[in-house]
A and B are shown apart, each in its own frame.
Chain A
Amino acid sequence: MQVKGRRKATEYRRATGSGNRCLEGSAAQKSSFVTAASLILVLFLSSAAFFIPDRYLPGLILCDIFLVIHGLSRRGKLGVIVRVFLVQLIITMSLYYLIHGQGQLAQGALAVLRILLAFIPGWWLSVSCRAERIGEVLTWILPVKWAFVIAASIRLLPFMTVELREIYQIQCLRGARITPKFLRDPRNWPELINCVIFPLLIQLLKLSRQVAVAAQLRYFGKNKKPTHWR
């Protein structure tokens, strides 16, 4: 009885486990399709901001308002968009005032509005879609090698960041003029290149060689349909 019960429990656990895996798989696939649709929508809306005639602009503004509301509900921050809009508005309006006088200020404001409308869909995409899903969608259209390169680069980004930070801190302790205060002066940028970027490039050259050898030892590139570690 006990053995029978244990077997049943194991079967139940297996069934529920595989069920969960199926559910997770279908949810991930659904999420990837939603991300692909979002990418196409963003591409369409951003391009529309440049190309559509003025009479269709209210419709586009309405779409972008929906995106902003959705983005804000996902805890997105509008700070960057507002900053870009204000800088662009100040530069463009001053140029319009200096060149054309007060007569064409409305046209300048409309141009800046179109730039804002082109920015908002990209901001919404960054707030609403997860990075790994965007990466997965891109692998549908990219060759296997380049998809591997992008995945490896993003996977190794934390390693690169740690290396960069360590080299930077060591060089700061040695007295290099690369602190944020010094870097406001572009004349100190060569020091940043020599002290931080050059050692980092050496690390990247070594790293690329190591990763390439490791991948080739695992028969990378031998099979047209590579397998994935999950």
Chain B
Amino acid sequence: MSKSFNFSLQDALFIGFCATLLVALKSMMRLKLGISGHSMFLMTFFYLICYGVVGRVGCISACGVLSGLVAMILSVGKGGPLILIKFALPAIAMDLSLLVFAGLFTLRWRCVVVGLIGCFAWAGKGWVEDLLVGMTMQVALVQFALSMLKGGMFTLLAASMVPPVLNRLKSHDLLYKDSTE
């Protein structure tokens, strides 16, 4: 977290609150739904809200790393230190993709594309894990495709909800940096 993560204290606190809320909601929704991939819904939603409110490249990665650390502290997911990778990897992928797509599309399509790239990173992490534990390439690819399908649906749902929320925040004059254009 060097100079590129040098947010104002207010922005840093908002990112931290979003990360904590993401972990708390994930722990509430866990087991009740029983569908794998629903974590991508919360992750995409809160990461993109952070991007919309803070409006700086690096805020999604910060939110991802903080979510991983908070999940580790609150023992959500039972993954120990590896839970950090689960939260941080899609966030970093989304942040890197924003370097390319920052001014290219409308906010709605940008959210969808960036969210799907995050989902791809999330499914890719599962694919690498499957290969590392010794699964065959075919089985790992089928698992990857299933993760991408399920996670992708939740990602699309979350990404489509972000622009209306940001527009409503903007209409309440709560966004002091305009990243909704």
**Which residue of B has the minimal Cβ distance to A51?**
B132
Q: Is A111 a contact of B133 with CB atoms below 8 Å?
A: yes
**Known pairs A95-B142, A146-B66, A152-B13; A131 contacts B75 (CB<8 A):** yes
If A211-B13, A221-B9 touch, whether A99 touches B138 (CB-CB below 8 Å) is yes
Task: Return chain B residues, CB-CB under 8 Å to A209.
Answer: 10
Q: Name the CB-closest residue of A to B81.
A: A43
Cβ 8 A contact of B75, one of A104, A126, A194, A220: A126
B24 within 8 A of A: yes
Q: Which residues of B contact A99 (CB under 8 A)?
A: 136, 138-139, 142
Chain B residues contacting A205 (CB-CB under 8 Å) are 14, 53, 169, 174
How does the 8 Å CB contact mask read for A161-182 relative to B, with 1 for contact and 0 for none?
1001000000000000000100
Known interface pairs A46-B81, A119-B79, A204-B21; A220-B172 also in contact (CB < 8 Å): no
Give Cα distance in the complex from A123 to B158, angstroms: 29
In the assembled complex, which residues on chain A have CB atoms less than 8 Å from the CB atom of B19? 153
Instruction: Determine which residue in B18, B32, B72, B83 has the highest number of CB atoms from chain A within 10 A of its CB, and name it.
Output: B72
**Contact digits for A132-162, partner B, Cβ 8 Å, 1 yes 0 no:** 0011001000110110011011101100110
A76 to B21, CA, bound (A): 25
A146, B21: Cα distance in complex, Å: 16
Tell me if B78 and A119 are in contact (CB < 8 A).
yes
- Given the complex of chains A and B, what is the CA–CA distance between A119 and B129 in angstroms? 12
Size of B's binding interface in residues, CB under 8 A: 58
Indicate which residue in B1, B77, B143, B169 contacts A143 across the interface (CB closer than 8 Å). Answer: B1
B133 touches A150 (CB 8 A): no
CB neighbors of A among B131-181 (8 A)? 132-136, 138-139, 142-143, 154, 157, 161, 164-165, 168-169, 172, 174
Is B45 an interface position by the 8 A CB rule?
A: yes
Q: Do B142 and A149 have beta carbons less than 8 Å apart?
A: no
- A145 touching B12, Cβ below 8 Å: yes
Is B70 an interface residue when CB atoms closer than 8 A count as contact?
yes
A interface residues with partner B (beta carbon < 8 Å): 39, 42-43, 46-47, 49-51, 54, 80-81, 83-84, 91-92, 95-96, 99-100, 104, 107-108, 110-112, 114-115, 118-119, 121-123, 125-126, 131, 134-135, 138, 142-143, 145-146, 149-150, 152-154, 156-157, 160-161, 164, 180, 184, 186, 189-190, 193-194, 197-198, 200-202, 204-205, 207-209, 211-212, 215-216, 220-221
Given contacts A112-B133, A184-B33, list 18 more A-B pairs with CB under 8 A: A46-B82, A83-B31, A100-B138, A115-B129, A119-B78, A121-B80, A122-B77, A131-B73, A143-B1, A149-B16, A153-B20, A186-B154, A189-B161, A198-B165, A202-B172, A204-B21, A216-B9, A220-B9
- Top 4 nearest A-B pairs (CB, nearest first) are A122-B80, A126-B75, A149-B16, A114-B133
Question: What are 23 A-B residue pairs whose CB atoms fall within 8 Å in the complex?
Answer: A50-B132, A81-B78, A100-B136, A100-B139, A110-B134, A119-B78, A122-B79, A123-B80, A126-B78, A131-B73, A134-B72, A142-B69, A150-B70, A153-B20, A156-B17, A156-B20, A157-B24, A160-B17, A160-B21, A184-B33, A186-B154, A205-B14, A208-B13
Residues of B within 8 A of A (CB): 1, 5, 8-21, 24, 31-33, 41, 45, 49, 53, 66, 69-70, 72-75, 77-83, 129-130, 132-136, 138-139, 142-143, 154, 157, 161, 164-165, 168-169, 172, 174
